[in-house]
Structure 1
Amino acid sequence: MGAIRVHEFTTVDGVVDAPMWTMDYGFPEDLAASIGALTAPARGILLGRTTFEMFAPAWSTRTAEDDEGAPFFNDTPKYVVSSTLVDAEGVWRNSTAVGGYDAGRIRELAERGDLYVSGSATLVRALLADGLVDELHLYVYPVAVGTGIRLFPDGGPRTALTPLGVERLSNGVVHLTYGPAAAG
Structure 2
Amino acid sequence: MGAIRVHEFTTVDGVVDAPMWTMDYGFPDDLAASIGAITAPATGILLGRTTFEMFAPAWSTRTVEEDPGAPFFNDTRKHVVSSTLTDAESVWRNSAVLGPYDADRIRGLKAEGDLYVSGSATLVRALVADGLVDELHLYVYPVAVGEGIRLFPEGTAKTPLALLGVESLSNGVAHLTYGPAAG
- With structure 2 as the length reference, what TM-score do the two structures score? 1.00
Alpha-carbon distance between aligned partners in 1 of 2:129 and 2:30, rounded to the nearest angstrom: 31
Q: Which structure 2 residue ranges, 5 or more long, are not aligned?
A: none
Letter of the 1:147 partner, please give it: E
**Which residue pairs with 2:20 in the alignment?**
20
Which runs of structure 2 are paired with 1:58-73 in the superposition (5 Å)?
Answer: 58-73=58-73
- What is the CA distance between 1:118 and its match in structure 2? 0.1
Q: Report matched runs for 1:11-90 at 5 Å.
A: 11-90=11-90
| Residues 71-113 of structure 1: CA deviation (Å, up to 9, x unaligned) | 0000000000001111000110000000000000000111110
Aligned position for 1:156: 156
Residue in 2 that maps onto 1:178: 178
Rounded to whole Å, the distance in 1 between the matches of 2:126 and 2:103 is: 8
Q: Give the secondary-structure state (helix, strand or coil) at the position aligned to 1:68.
A: coil
Matched residue SS, 1:98: strand
Measured against aligned partners, the alpha-carbon deviations of 1:9-30 in whole angstroms (never above 9, x if no partner) come to 0000000000000000000000
The whole-number CA distance in structure 2 between the counterparts of 1:72 and 1:111 is: 20
Give the match for residue 141 of structure 2: 141
Q: Which runs of 4+ in 1 moved over 6 A?
A: none
Could you tell me which residue of structure 1 aligns to residue 94 of structure 2? 94
Match of 1:118 in 2: 118
CA–CA distance in 1 between the matches of 2:165 and 2:38? 13
Partner of 2:130: 130
What is the DSSP-based 3-state SS (H/G/I as helix, E as strand, rest coil) of the residue aligned with 1:146?
A: coil
